[in-house]
């Protein structure tokens, strides 16, 4: 296609240039002169650490980087006698260096403009996305208008057409999906526009829950909670699960000493299959619950926000039932071709599909580790159960370092089926400048892990990288979905793709809000003889097996699961810090409890 201009509209949240004192009160959601609790101090310190602040002098303005907050309130610190702080109970801003710290009252520090703001809660994220999500036609018009306004063609040496490039694309057919029907048994159907309903459909393998209980940490009405949990159980039973309708216990607890409460529950009720947890408003409680239950005591949990308890809908109940079934070892659905052993490149021989991702702490956090996660399919040939492993590594390290993440997945598969003859490895989270280093390092990890199982064991490996953070958007010229986006299954593998490597754009999901972003897949290494059509179809099919919903997703399910697993590992670190009430202490990543290692607890 030749040289082209890629122009995209983007949005970002920024800090308001306000006083740190006012930011703190708004951040905590309270207007009081009282002291900060230990939890509030920890939250504010994390929020302001690394920020640039401005302090005005008589004839100048100076900028400082915030190191954190003082542990003592202003009333216990020394200042010049001519200054009286607004709030003696608030801590001071810590600047300078760790060796030579200096203190400045919050009301004298103004947040410098132009600093990106991390969205810290769901309400903020929802408001931002509502603002930033442009429908396809609106985004397309804005881009074309920007090109005209920039007047690129004034310079005679550069000519830029004011029309978007028209490219060739095709739409892949959706795969057949199998559910269980109480009348017809296993039944296949074809999704429409990337989605389907659960009407007259049961799980293909329903899980069992005999011993379960309800722990309420939200200070809400326990009778309303009991009714809600009964509706959840009713939906699970409707979908085919064997679920005892009577809980073993139903209690309310204050949201303090949560780890001890959970351990006491486990000690009193052995072999607990499932614990329903009603969360308080404090989001740190979720992290503590997941860490304790999944690493210390080995109990599957399903957490609920109180707003979902109070405003229950049928769609929400179905969504929860899908998650509960896989958490207790069931399977919701599978690809019909996989079950019938007609899925090309997978059904012929023992094949394991892996998804891998590395996530990093928020910008400015230099104390937390990066988290590497690898998930792998364990139920050949259906490819529905994915076992998760994760590991902590150096802050900012993008390449997976721990061979154990690969070896233990292969070993688990080997114990069930035998040694896999094919490995299909989907990797997320790297830019094209890192491809060579990534391939050399992680393909080497795979080879080393295989050799540790058996001498001269060398299965065929296909290595694919998935990129989601790019600026390419596809706009339909003819057919489109209900949101105005390109149809699910739209694939582009010419013209705008890298001409020297096999790569393709795939929009695998139906648009819900805003303009759909296609995933960009690169085939870096292939020993399984994939054709272009074969890899594109398998990749698209793997977007239909996500256990958390009834629609195709925007990336292959193994990569999505790896991202969920990495997020859960991050919860363990945050939960440990919240429990110990420390902000920056280096904490070792705990291991998953042995009772949960082979189920999809992270969904």
**To which H or E segment does residue 255 belong?**
none
Query: Kindly report the CA angle at 499 between 493 and 504, in degrees rounded to 5?
Result: 25
- Is 191 domain-assigned? no
Q: Give the count of domains, the chain.
A: 4
Q: Looking at the structure, tell me whether residues 350 and 464 fall in a common domain.
A: yes
CATH code of the domain in which 303 resides: 3.40.50.2300
pLDDT at 178: 97
Task: Tell me the pLDDT tens digit for each residue of 187-239.
Answer: 999 999 999 999 999 999 999 999 999 999 987 666 789 999 999 999 999 99
Q: Which of 2-16, 149-163, 489-503 has the least mean pLDDT?
A: 149-163
Task: Tell me the pLDDT tens digit for each residue of 38-66.
Answer: 888 888 998 898 899 999 887 889 999 99
Q: Looking at the structure, tell me whether residues 240 and 322 fall in a common domain.
A: yes
387: confidence class by pLDDT, cuts 50, 70, 90? very high
Q: Looking at the structure, tell me whether residues 108 and 257 fall in a common domain.
A: no
Q: Which range marks the domain in which residue 27 is found?
A: 20-112
Q: Looking at the structure, tell me whether residues 154 and 42 fall in a common domain.
A: no
Q: Looking at the structure, tell me whether residues 103 and 123 fall in a common domain.
A: no
Q: Looking at the structure, tell me whether residues 338 and 296 fall in a common domain.
A: no
- Is 469 domain-assigned? yes
Nearest-angstrom CA–CA distance, 305 and 278: 6
- 153's CB contacts (< 8 A; 6+ apart) are 159, 160
CATH code of the domain in which 103 resides: 2.170.260.10
Query: Kindly report the CA angle at 513 between 508 and 519, in degrees rounded to 5?
Result: 30
For residues 561 and 602, is the Cβ–Cβ distance under 8 A? yes
pLDDT at 237: 98
- Is 304 domain-assigned? yes
361 has pLDDT over 90: no
CATH code of the domain in which 464 resides: 3.30.420.10
Nearest-angstrom CA–CA distance, 19 and 23: 6
Q: Pick from 368, 367, 412, 369: which is nearest to 389 by CA?
A: 412
Nearest-angstrom CA–CA distance, 76 and 353: 59
Nearest-angstrom CA–CA distance, 334 and 545: 6
Q: Looking at the structure, tell me whether residues 125 and 107 fall in a common domain.
A: no
359: confidence class by pLDDT, cuts 50, 70, 90? very high
CB count, 10 Å around CB of 114? 9
Q: Could you tell me the two tokens for 280?
A: 């308080």
- Is 587 domain-assigned? no
Give the start-end residues of each E strand in 217-327: 242-243, 249-252, 274-278, 301-304
Q: Looking at the structure, tell me whether residues 108 and 123 fall in a common domain.
A: no
Q: Looking at the structure, tell me whether residues 96 and 217 fall in a common domain.
A: no
Ramachandran sector of residue 104 (left: φ over 0; alpha: ψ -120 to 50; beta: rest): beta
373 has pLDDT over 90: yes
pTM score of the predicted model: 0.88
8 has pLDDT over 60: yes
Q: Which of 310, 327, 344 is the last residue of a domain?
A: 327
- Is 589 domain-assigned? no
pLDDT at 306: 85
81 has pLDDT over 60: no
Task: Tell me the pLDDT tens digit for each residue of 541-578.
Answer: 999 999 999 999 999 999 999 999 999 999 999 888 88
- Is 179 domain-assigned? no
Q: Which of 327, 345, 380 is the last residue of a domain?
A: 327
Stronger pLDDT, 407 or 88, i.e. the higher one:
407
φ, ψ for residue 50, nearest 5 deg: 90, -10
For residues 107 and 86, is the Cβ–Cβ distance under 8 A? yes
Q: Could you tell me the two tokens for 549?
A: 């919903």
Q: Looking at the structure, tell me whether residues 298 and 369 fall in a common domain.
A: no
Segment 121-127 mean pLDDT: 71
- Is 293 domain-assigned? yes
Q: Looking at the structure, tell me whether residues 376 and 498 fall in a common domain.
A: yes
φ, ψ for residue 216, nearest 5 deg: -105, 115
The DSSP secondary-structure symbol of 591 reads: P
Nearest-angstrom CA–CA distance, 90 and 27: 14
Task: Tell me the pLDDT tens digit for each residue of 296-338.
Answer: 999 999 999 988 898 889 999 999 999 999 999 999 999 999 9
pLDDT at 121: 65
Q: Looking at the structure, tell me whether residues 419 and 549 fall in a common domain.
A: yes
The DSSP secondary-structure symbol of 211 reads: S
- Is 595 domain-assigned? no
CB count, 10 Å around CB of 375? 31
């Amino acid at each position: 296609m030749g040289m082209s201009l890629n122009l995209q509209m983007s949005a970002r949240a920024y800090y308001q240039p306000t006083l740190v004192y006012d930011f703190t009160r708004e951040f905590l959601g309270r207007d009081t002169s009282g002291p900060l609790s230990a939890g509030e101090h920890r939250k504010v310190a994390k929020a302001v650490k690394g920020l640039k602040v401005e302090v005005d002098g008589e004839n100048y303005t100076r900028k400082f980087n915030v190191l954190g907050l003082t542990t003592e309130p202003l009333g216990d610190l020394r200042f010049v006698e001519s200054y009286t702080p607004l709030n003696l109970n608030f801590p001071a801003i810590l600047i300078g260096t760790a060796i030579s710290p200096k203190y400045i009252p919050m009301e004298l520090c103004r947040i410098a403009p132009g600093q990106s703001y991390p969205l810290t809660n769901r309400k903020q994220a929802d408001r931002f996305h509502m603002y930033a999500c442009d429908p396809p036609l609106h985004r397309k018009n804005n881009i074309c208008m920007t090109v005209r306004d920039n007047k690129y063609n004034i310079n005679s040496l550069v000519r830029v057409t004011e029309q978007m490039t028209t490219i060739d694309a095709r739409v892949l057919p959706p795969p057949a999906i199998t559910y269980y029907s109480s009348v017809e048994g296993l039944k296949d159907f074809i999704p429409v526009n990337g989605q389907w309903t659960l009407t007259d459909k049961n799980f293909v393998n329903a899980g069992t829950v005999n011993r379960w209980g309800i722990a309420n940490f939200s200070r809400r009405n326990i009778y309303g909670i009991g009714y809600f949990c009964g509706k959840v159980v009713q939906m699970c039973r409707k979908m085919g699960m064997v679920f005892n309708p009577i809980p073993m216990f139903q209690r309310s607890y204050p949201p303090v000493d949560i780890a001890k409460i959970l351990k006491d529950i486990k000690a009193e009720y052995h072999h607990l299959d499932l614990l329903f947890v009603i969360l308080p408003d404090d989001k740190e409680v979720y992290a503590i619950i997941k860490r304790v239950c999944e690493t210390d005591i080995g109990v599957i949990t399903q957490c609920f926000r109180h707003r979902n308890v109070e405003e229950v809908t049928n769609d929400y109940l179905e969504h929860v039932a899908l998650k509960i079934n896989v958490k207790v070892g069931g399977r919701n659905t599978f690809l019909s071709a996989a079950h019938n052993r007609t899925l090309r490149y997978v059904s012929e021989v023992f094949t394991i599909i892996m998804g891998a991702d590395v996530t990093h702490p928020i910008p400015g956090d230099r104390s937390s580790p990066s988290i590497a996660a690898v998930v792998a399919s364990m139920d050949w040939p259906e490819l529905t159960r994915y076992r998760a492993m994760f590991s902590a590594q150096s802050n900012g390290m993008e390449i997976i370092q721990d061979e154990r993440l690969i070896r233990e997945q292969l070993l688990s598969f080997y114990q069930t089926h035998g040694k896999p003859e094919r490995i299909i490895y989907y990797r997320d989270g790297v830019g094209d400048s890192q491809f060579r280093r990534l391939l050399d390092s992680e393909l080497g990890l795979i080879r080393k892990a295989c050799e540790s199982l058996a001498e001269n064991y060398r299965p065929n490996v296909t290595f694919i990288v998935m990129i989601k953070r790019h600026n390419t958007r596809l706009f339909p010229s003819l057919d489109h979905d209900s949101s105005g986006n390109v149809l699910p299954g739209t694939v582009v593998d010419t013209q705008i793709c890298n001409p020297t490597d096999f790569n393709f754009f795939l929009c695998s999901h139906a648009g819900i809000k805003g303009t759909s972003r296609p995933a960009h897949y690169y085939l870096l290494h292939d020993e399984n003889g994939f054709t272009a059509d074969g890899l594109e179809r398998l990749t698209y099919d793997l977007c239909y097996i996500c256990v958390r919903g009834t629609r195709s997703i925007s990336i292959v399910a193994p990569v999505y699961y790896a991202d969920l697993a990495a997020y859960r590992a991050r919860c363990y670190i945050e939960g440990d810090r919240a429990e110990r009430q420390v902000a920056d202490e280096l904490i070792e990543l705990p291991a998953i409890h042995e009772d949960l290692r082979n189920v999809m607890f992270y969904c």
